[in-house]
Every structure is written in structure tokens, then in C-alpha cells.
């Protein structure tokens, strides 16, 4: 059963907080958190990404970036990353997390490229991949939870 979901990107400013907000709305009974491999602790979320979520009724204004650490990896039942290289990096730095790390857009199979400080088109594309990826994972998580309750 998935109780704690961790979403990881590079800086924890765009992609992982977007996915966190989307997951929190759809899976309110699960703890959802996010972090970045190279995050600067305390930075606020990218304003473009924050406003895109706000248009969808999701408020992430209190989000502050956090750098990924071993404790976060240990407490997570499932870790979703944006890029295959991020998966490899987490497995290298935190080997105990192996077997629980997948890409959020695994269904495509595609990496979600970082739109940070790029064109609106890049943000829109990242959001589309994240929405589809999150919806796919929500379905998987719900099925796992249903099986675990039997």
C-alpha cells in the first residue's frame, strides 16, 4: 500500500511541485511531498508553474524547495522522478531506494523536460505530460490500495 509518495526533479521549483499539487488534489489520503536533487532549500516555486496550478484550482504558494536526502528516500513508499537520469542518480546516492523509483511519465515513455525559465510552450508541454502521468499513477495507486484492502 502506498502511504507516502515522493516526487523528485532537479530544483524542486517547477516539475515536482506541479506533480505534488496534482497528486495532493487527487489522492488526499496519501502523504505527497517533493524534493530536488540540486534544490536550494527555501526557494519559492517558479511563478509560471505556480500560476498554472492556480488556474487548475491548486494553491502551492506555501511551497518551499527542499534538497533530497536519505531520510526522504527511506520514508517514501514510491518515488517518482521526471527523468531517467534522475532515477539513476537517486539509485547511486541512495541504493536502499532501488525498486521504488519510477518516472512520472512512465506511460509515454518519456522524460518530463525542465521548463524552468523557458518559453510558455515548454511549460505547457511539461504540464500536459505531468497531468497525463499523474492520472496514470493515480489509477495504479488506487488499484494497489484496493488490492491491499481485500
- Catalytic residues, by residue number, are 9, 15, 114
**What is the rounded CA–CA span in Å between residue 44 and residue 1?**
31
96 burial via Cβ count (<10 Å: 0-12, 13-18, 19+): exposed
Amino acid at each position: 500500500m502506498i502511504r507516502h509518495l515522493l516526487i523528485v526533479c532537479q530544483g524542486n521549483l517547477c516539475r515536482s511541485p506541479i506533480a505534488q499539487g496534482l497528486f495532493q488534489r487527487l489522492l488526499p489520503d496519501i502523504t505527497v511531498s517533493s524534493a530536488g536533487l540540486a534544490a536550494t532549500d527555501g526557494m519559492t516555486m517558479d511563478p509560471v508553474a505556480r500560476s498554472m496550478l492556480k488556474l487548475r484550482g491548486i494553491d502551492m504558494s506555501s511551497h518551499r524547495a527542499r534538497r533530497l536526502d536519505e531520510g526522504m528516500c527511506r520514508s517514501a513508499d514510491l518515488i517518482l522522478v521526471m527523468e531517467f537520469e534522475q532515477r539513476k542518480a537517486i539509485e547511486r546516492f541512495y541504493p536502499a531506494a532501488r525498486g521504488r523509483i519510477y518516472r512520472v511519465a512512465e506511460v509515454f515513455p518519456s522524460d518530463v523536460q525542465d521548463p524552468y525559465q523557458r518559453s510558455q510552450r515548454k511549460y505547457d508541454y511539461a504540464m500536459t505530460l505531468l497531468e497525463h502521468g499523474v492520472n496514470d499513477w493515480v489509477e495504479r495507486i488506487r488499484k494497489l490500495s484496493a488490492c491491499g484492502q481485500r
